[in-house]
Amino acid sequence: MFFNLPFIVAALLVILGITTMLIKRNLIKMIMGLALVEAGVNLLLVSIGYRAGGIAPIFTSAPDGVMVMPTVQAMTLTNIVIGIATTALLLSFVMVIYRMYGTANAEKVRKLRG
Amino acid sequence: MNMSKIVRSAANLLFPFILVFGFYIVLHGHLTPGGGFQGGAVIATGFVLMFVAYSYDFITGRIGAESLHTTETIGLVLFIVTALVAIVFGVTFFTNWMLDVGPVLNNPVAFGPNPGDLNTAGFIPVMNLAVGIEVLGALSVIVLYMLSGTKEEI
Amino acid sequence: MKNLVIGATVLILSLGILYAGVGLEFGAPPFTDMDDYFVSHGQEQTGGNNIVTDIVFDFRGFDTLGEATVLFTAVLGAGLAFRKRREDEDYEYE
């Protein structure tokens, strides 16, 4: 029945991430939502490249069989590293904001700015 | 503040094995699953283990953020220079120039499934090493910066 | 009113993304020309057994260059956020 379960799970992850970013007011939780969206996109990319019964695209002592698509795996690798970099940068900024304003609530920070 | 003696002993014991495993993943990146980014992340995990086990003052007295940042810069410069040398041989930027020049890293490959030879693949192992030490420096120094942010007052 | 807008946005986005997710077919990608070329020719053009590493460092080298630059820039930004400030430096945050 659930023949395309990985795509549905990826869609649910993206929806949960966007919902978290919309309804939460804590900056740390908004960054958690962004990380959820990244995880959903990674799962979508890897799922797109899967062929039924495929093996990993590596020829070292490879068994016989069709290989899965390698380009989406390379793009997933790029996505993971960029996700780590942006998440670390955003968390650094949240730490600076917390030290300056004493809170990580987005609305209160905006009110302080006037 | 240092953690307890058990944690510090376990971290000391695990650290060289994590380094060896990470550099194995980096250097065999063109033969087995892995590569520069993954191996660099594994090595950075070992550094973060040491940051957790020891105090911030002890770590910065030994290694310092500047040297880690220099490691990252060396990796990026090695990456770009390896790609730029291709212009010397009359081919375009990012061409695999080691496949045509010299005997190093240039053994012929058996097409199809084969047991694997470390001395193949042109400049891909060099690129793996460059990106590996860049990711090692970058992830370690980000954690060290965030640890320093929790220390000082405003 | 604000909650109503957020709820409507989430509902519409959920329906759209779920419709796209259900419509895809798992296990049989439709367009595979580029990946077939990489799998069948990557080993003789680059010499590496790991096709993913061949793509990351050889076929899509500019992509990796941009990725390394992004990582470097993120580290520079974090270092600027946590730099040590001088005593006489005047900075206003309000």
pLDDT tens digits for range A55-81: 888 888 778 888 888 889 889 988 998
Domain-located, residue C91: no
Using the predicted structure, report yes or no on whether residue B79 has a pLDDT greater than 70: yes
Alpha-carbon span A46 to B41, nearest angstrom: 20
Closest CA to B137 of A73, C80, C76: C76
Q: How many domains does chain C have?
A: 1
Domain-located, residue C28: no
The whole-number pLDDT of residue C33 equals 85
Tell me the Ramachandran region of residue B110: left when phi exceeds 0, alpha when psi lies from -120 to 50, beta otherwise.
beta
Nearest-Å Rg of the Cα atoms of chain B is 19
Position with higher pLDDT, C72 vs B61: C72
**B103 reaches A (C-beta below 8 A):** no
DSSP B93: T
Q: What percent of chain B has pLDDT over 90?
A: 14
Closest CA to B58 of B21, B96, B121, B11: B11
Q: Which backbone phi and psi does C50 adopt, to 5 degrees? A: -85, 105
The whole-number pLDDT of residue B56 equals 79
Q: What is the mean pLDDT of residues C33-51?
A: 83
The whole-number pLDDT of residue B117 equals 75
Weakest mean pLDDT among B1-15, B105-119, C67-81? B105-119
Task: Please report residues of C whose CB lies closer than 8 A to that of B145.
Answer: 75, 78-79, 81-82
User: In chain A, which stretches have pLDDT less than 50?
Assistant: none
The whole-number pLDDT of residue B154 equals 42
Q: With a cut of 0.90, is the ipTM above it?
A: no
Residues on chain A bordering chain B, Cβ-to-Cβ distance under 8 angstroms: 56, 58-63, 77, 80-81, 84-85, 88, 91-92, 95-96, 99-100
Domains and CATH numbers, chain A: 7-54+68-113 (1.10.287.3510)
The whole-number pLDDT of residue C85 equals 67
**Confidence at C94, pLDDT banded by 50, 70, 90:** very low
| Spatial CB neighbours of C17, under 8 Å, sequence gap ≥ 6 | A11, A14, A15
Domain-located, residue C11: no
In chain B, domain spans: 5-149
B4-25 burial code (b ≥16 CB/10 A, e <16): eeeeeeebeeeeeebeeebbeb
Place of tokens 């460092």: C57
The whole-number pLDDT of residue B86 equals 83
The whole-number pLDDT of residue B31 equals 85
Q: C81 and A96: CB-CB below 8 Å?
A: yes
Q: B113 and A96: CB-CB below 8 Å?
A: no
Domain-located, residue C48: yes
Name the residue range of residue C49's domain: 33-81
C45-77 burial code (b ≥16 CB/10 A, e <16): ebbbbbbbbbbbbbbbbebbbebbebbbebbeb
CA distance C44 to chain A (A): 12
The whole-number pLDDT of residue C93 equals 52
Position with higher pLDDT, C47 vs B49: B49
Domain-located, residue C18: no
Q: C27 and A58: CB-CB below 8 Å?
A: no
Task: Please report residues of C whose CB lies closer than 8 A to that of B134.
Answer: 68, 71-72
**C4 reaches A (C-beta below 8 A):** no
Residue A64 DSSP SS3: coil
Using the predicted structure, report yes or no on whether residue B65 has a pLDDT greater than 60: yes
